[in-house]
Chains A and B, each alone.
Chain A
Amino acid sequence: AAMDPTGAGTSNDEFKFKVVLLGEGAVGKSSLMLRYVQGQFNPRHISTIQASFLSKQLTVEGSDIDLSIWDTAGQEKYHALGPIYYRGSQGALLVYDVTDAKSFDKVKMWVKELRRALGEDVILFIVGNKVDLADSRTVDGEMARGFATEVGATYEETSAKENIGVENLFELMCSAMVTRARVGPSNRGTTNGGTRNGRRTIRIVDEPTTGRKCC
């Protein structure tokens, strides 16, 4: 950053966050992202190959947030490639289909994997999607909530089709990330707070940050 000719400094009220959507195929990950970022829903969606990416700028609690959302392919185990997308994320949305019990098992698997790879620093949300299909529901909401609490995740239910809870979901995620980023400045050097261009930067600061950073 030293040769940035603008010499722009960083301010405390700007955050770059990376959120990754994970889960079984056809549970509606892409639809959630498209609903949130573009306000659209397409019942005939193509399957995501590898991943897709959208970004959105928003303001949460007075902080400007540049939110990068990575939407991953569901089917493939992508174990060789999975880390590419979740590495360096501050938040992960683990999505399942409330009408598909198998997709919830996949969520459990992802919780394990993310905790192992990213530790406690990543904010996990477990999302039951397609709640508009109440009649064919097979996964009990309370059971899912219980599981989420157990693993330290937040539980939300959404319908990308009917636009239920989508905005709320991402807003909750953002404010959780903001809180985490503000509360845990001591972690900043070693964890994934404050990323730039998706790459972790280590800031060496002498005294604990109070209000304004020294650099």
Chain B
Amino acid sequence: MNIGALSLEQAAISEMRQRIGSMKQPQINDYVKLMRTLPTAEDLVRLCVSGDLRTSSVRGLVWMMLLKCLPLSKDEWTPVLKRSRQTYIKLKNLHVTDPHMQDSLSHDPCVINPLSDAEHNPWRKFFEDGDLRELIGKDVARTFPEMEFFQQDRIRQMLSDILLVYAKENPYISYKQGMHEILAPLLFVLYSDQQTYEHYLENKALNAMETHEREIIAAVHDDHFLEHDSYMLFSEVMRDVCSWYEDGCSPTTDDPGFLQQPFMRMQDAPSTSRLMDELSAINGKLQEVDPTLHKHLSALDIPPQLYGIRWLRLLFGREFPLHDLLFIWDVLFSQQRPLNRFVHCMAVVMLVHVRALLLSCDYSGCLQYLMRYPPVVDVSAFMKLVLHLRHPTKYARPRQEGAASAHYSHITVAGTAHPARGKEAPIVLAREMREHGARSAAPARPSPPTSRHTRSIFGTPKNGERRKDEGETGMSAAVKRHHHPADAERVKGGSPQHSRVGEAEERRCQQLSEEVREREERMAECARSLKKLAAELLQPGCATEERRRDVAERMSQISRHLTLPPPPAIDSSKSVPPVREMQELGPNGRVRCAVAGNGVARCVPNGTARAPNGGVVFQFRNRRSNRLGSSSSSDSTSSVEGNVPSMHALVAPTTYTTLRPNNRLQKKVTSCPVLYAPRF
């Protein structure tokens, strides 16, 4: 070992020592910082977002200030706390009277006994609340079963009492399953803060503070009032969350409307509650941010209504382990209320985070990932993305998002094997590949054949900076659109010429992002098909000649589907392209297509491609909506017309529709080879 290396090592050690030294009393510094400076609301937000509350002893205090349980000025803390604690004592006396505990001699035994009917008999109320108590008790007994802390009778009693008081104080909502898991982390945070405080008190570590400061800190951390302070914090949090627990006017089966529309999907039903509104808003946001994923989930009929209720009601409590959840709540509580906009962004980022898994899965696979959300590796990067989505101009997009996603998808948050295990092997989509390509340190991996196409899409823009931006982006191109208005604004500040350039750039960008989206959808579709095929191949009895031919045929279809050329870019500002006559035979030699100058394709069938009634049915894929459109003709001589710009592949004839003599429709679906893909 040479001397240089040695000194380097020494430097590292001394730096480490310094760091440890400064870490020794971070909590005390926290107290001092809070006491000696008057923090502004922005300071608190910064503190929460930075993640520093994770190791601090003032998390509960900061939450109380954020949620307006305590004012920012420390001098008012003691009286404010005194008042709120008094209030809770009163409420508890009012609602949680246990007649067993009452001094029976000091009261009239004719009124106060379990069998008396008298109006103010405490026994009467006790029995009335019995059901509610039982309901709460069932859940409190099942709160965080893996944490010893919540198994203590004392803590359980506190949880039950707080929930009962809240239920009685808010009869419209009462108690609903889930509230206990909003309350439990709050109580846990306050308890931890008190414990840390006691610890420092015992070690006389607070002596450096002035007397009046110590008094205030002592009043805040008085462990007699854990229950009281928890109630206060809980009711503040519930102010936002409670509307998601409301029943709304329920469209029960008594409602005739329900029976009239038995095929109506619930996401199409008129909104019945705030909760449903929020879930629809999440769906809308997803469509805006990640249209590919939105489309995939919609096609599977998996709306947020199916999986999102728990996310919202527990504020993501089941989707993240407790230590991460508390950080998430740091950020959440630091947001301006109402919290719903932030919660929407949170839910959308959760979906986008597992997009590769979701896009590669079928109905049950998707649901298993959504109902058992896989662990997030880097929560702070995750939250940065949420913040970026919420305030695109204020918070920068974190780097490397998506690179770490899908790790750990084989386990659940609880650490057990994930039920969808074995289904994974996420498709690497264009987006992820772009990321890998963008980071120079990315490990060399065999580049899938599709990456060539992906890159070529990005080869055109002239603006080098934009190109870089595309390369680094982890989320759908649509997110980038959030920037565009700002970009355009900025550009508009310059000369009119610049503004035109800006607009053109923006149009181009939107086009590109749409192309990327279409390509992604197609790739995801192909990947799913390949997976299905692979699963079938593994089944016994597929070695027959017939099966092999079938598989080979389907694989070549998938391949054709993958290699469709990118759809033509349409510039509406340009005039109608010159007349081009194109004649092309499909692989089966069945179809001739002619493209006229007005962009109308004429497809003339020949011979065999005919429906039983002599008519012809063609299907083509709509370029914009990616939907299958169809045109049919009733006799063998007609041609089928479709608008070419809206068509990027002509497939079929896939569907024959005939009217039988008994007037019933017969549909016959055969495979659908791609017959024609226009090139421009």
Instruction: Answer whether residue B81 sits at the interface, using C-beta atoms and an 8 A cutoff.
Output: no
| Interface residue ranges, A against B (CB under 8 Å) | 1-8, 25-26, 37-38, 42, 44-47, 49-55, 66, 68, 73-77, 79-84, 87, 113, 116-117, 197-200, 204, 206, 214-215
Given known pairs A197-B301, A200-B263, the reply for A50 and B310 (CB within 8 Å) is yes
Contacts of A3 in B (CB 8 A): 619, 621, 628, 651, 672
- Whole-angstrom distance from the CB of B129 to the nearest CB of chain A? 16
A82 closest partner in B (C-beta): B252
5 contacting pairs across A/B (C-beta < 8 A):
A6-B529, A68-B367, A76-B177, A84-B306, A113-B253
B266 contact set on A, CB distance < 8 A: 83-84, 87
State which of B176, B250, B558, B666 has its C-beta within 8 Å of the C-beta of A6. Answer: B558
Q: How far is the CB of B261 from chain A (nearest CB, A)?
A: 11
Q: Which residues, 193 to 243 on B, are CB-close (under 8 Å) to A?
A: none
Q: Closest approach, in angstroms, between the C-beta of B547 and any C-beta of chain A?
A: 12
A77 to B560, CA, bound (A): 51
Q: A75: nearest residue on chain B (CB-CB)?
A: B177
Give CA–CA (A198, B267) in the complex, Å: 14
* A residues near B263, Cβ cutoff 8 Å: 200
Q: Is B309 on the interface with A (CB-CB < 8 A)?
A: yes
A215 in contact with B561 (CB, 8 Å): no
Task: List 14 additional A-B contacts (Cβ < 8 Å) besides A53-B367, A54-B368, A76-B176.
Answer: A5-B526, A6-B533, A6-B558, A7-B671, A37-B419, A46-B145, A53-B368, A68-B367, A75-B138, A83-B266, A84-B306, A117-B253, A197-B362, A198-B363
Query: Within the complex, what minimum Cβ distance (angstroms) separates B637 from chain A?
Result: 25
With A7-B671, A197-B300: A204-B253 Cβ-Cβ less than 8 Å: no
Q: Is the CB of B666 within 8 A of A47?
A: no
The answer to whether A2 and B672 touch across the interface, beta carbons within 8 angstroms, is: yes
B317's nearest neighbour on chain A, judged by CB, is A49
C-alpha gap A83/B368 in the complex (Å): 20
Complex contact A79–B247 (CB within 8 A): yes
Closest B-chain residue to A57, C-beta based?
A: B364
Chain B residue numbers with a CB within 8 Å of A46 are: 142-145, 318
Contact present for B301 and A50 (CB under 8 Å): no
**Are B666 and A204 in contact, with the CB atoms below 8 A?**
yes
Chain B residue nearest to A4 in the complex (CB): B529
Q: Which residue of B lies closest to A55 (CB)?
A: B364
* Of B250, B307, B669, the contact of A215 (CB 8 Å cutoff): B669
Are B664 and A204 neighbours in the complex by a CB distance under 8 Å? yes
Tell me how many residues of B have a C-beta within 8 Å of chain A.
72
> Quick one: closest A residue to B247, CB to CB?
A80
Contact residues in A for B276 (Cβ distance below 8 Å): 80
Known A-B contacts A6-B529, A79-B252; the reply to A199 vs B177 at CB < 8 A is no
Report if B445 contacts A (CB, 8 A).
no
Taking CB atoms, residues of chain B closer than 8 Å to A76 are 176-177
The reply on B557 being an interface residue by CB < 8 A is yes
Q: Which chain B residues border A197 with CB–CB below 8 Å?
A: 299-301, 362-363
**By DSSP majority rule, is chain A's interface helix, strand, loop, or mixed?**
loop
Q: Which residues of B contact A (CB under 8 A)?
A: 135, 138-139, 142-146, 176-178, 180-181, 247-248, 250-253, 258, 263, 265-266, 272-273, 276, 299-301, 305-307, 309-310, 313-314, 318, 362-364, 367-368, 371-372, 419, 525-526, 529, 532-533, 553-554, 557-558, 560-561, 619, 621, 628, 651, 654-655, 660, 664-672
Residues in A neighbouring B362, C-beta threshold 8 A: 197
Q: Chain A residues with Cβ under 8 A from B526's Cβ?
A: 5
Contact present for B177 and A47 (CB under 8 Å): yes
Q: Closest Cβ of chain A: how far from B236's Cβ, in Å?
A: 21
Q: Given the interface contacts A3-B651, A6-B558, A117-B253, does A80 sit within 8 Å of B272 by beta carbon?
A: yes
Q: Within the assembled complex, what's the spacing in Å between the Cα atoms of A113 and B253?
A: 7
What residues on B are CB-neighbors of A42 within 8 Å? 145
Check A7–B142 contact: CB distance below 8 A: no
- Using Cβ atoms and an 8 Å threshold, which residues of chain B touch A51? 310, 371
B273 → A minimal CB distance (Å): 6
Q: Which residues of B contact A198 (CB under 8 A)?
A: 300-301, 363
Indicate whether A80 sits within 8 Å of B251 (C-beta atoms), given known contacts A49-B178, A215-B669: yes
Given contacts A5-B558, A49-B181, A49-B318, are A44 and B135 in contact (CB under 8 A)? no
Q: Is there an interface contact between A214 and B139, defined as CB atoms closer than 8 Å?
A: no
Minimum CB–CB distance from B152 to chain A (whole Å) comes to: 14
- How far does the Cβ of B433 sit from chain A's closest Cβ, in whole Å? 21
Q: B266's closest neighbor in chain A, by CB?
A: A84
**B532 & A5 in contact (Cβ 8 Å cutoff):** no
Contacts A49-B181, A204-B664, A204-B665; A55 near B368 (Cβ below 8 A): yes
Q: Which residues does chain A contribute within 8 Å of B666, judged by CB atoms?
A: 204, 206
Q: Would you call B135 and A25 a contact (CB within 8 A)?
A: yes
Contact indicator B364/A2 (Cβ below 8 Å): no
B177 and A25 contact, CB distance less than 8 A: yes
- Shortest Cβ distance from B662 into A: residue: A206
- By the criterion CB–CB under 8 Å, are A83 and B313 in contact? no
A51 to B665 alpha-carbon distance, docked (Å): 40
Q: Top 6 A-B pairs ranked by shortest CB distance?
A: A7-B671, A44-B145, A55-B364, A79-B250, A80-B250, A75-B177
Q: How far is the CA of A47 from the CA of B135 in the complex (A)?
A: 11
**Do B300 and A6 touch across chains, with their CB atoms under 8 A apart?**
no
Whether A53 contacts B142 in the complex (CB less than 8 A), given A3-B621, A5-B529, comes out as no
From A3, which residue of chain B is reached at the shortest CB distance?
B628
Q: How far is the CB of B110 from chain A (nearest CB, A)?
A: 32
Q: Which of chain B's residues have a CB closer than 8 A to the CB of A68?
A: 363-364, 367
- Residues in B with CB closer than 8 Å to A75 are 135, 138-139, 176-177
The smallest C-beta distance from B295 to any residue of chain A, in angstroms, reads: 13
User: What is the CB-to-nearest-CB distance from A57 to chain B, in angstroms, rounded to a whole number?
Assistant: 9
A2 to B651, CA, bound (A): 10
Q: How far is the CB of B176 from chain A (nearest CB, A)?
A: 6
Q: How far is the CA of A77 from the CA of B251 in the complex (A)?
A: 12
Contacts of B621 in A (CB 8 A): 3
Known contacts A3-B621, A6-B554, A204-B665; A47/B139 CB under 8 A: yes
In the complex, what's the smallest C-beta–C-beta distance from B47 to chain A, in angstroms?
Answer: 31
Q: Which residues of B contact A7 (CB under 8 A)?
A: 553-554, 557, 670-672
CB distance from A181 to the nearest CB of B (A): 18
Given contacts A8-B532, A49-B313, A76-B177, contact A206 B145 (CB under 8 A): no
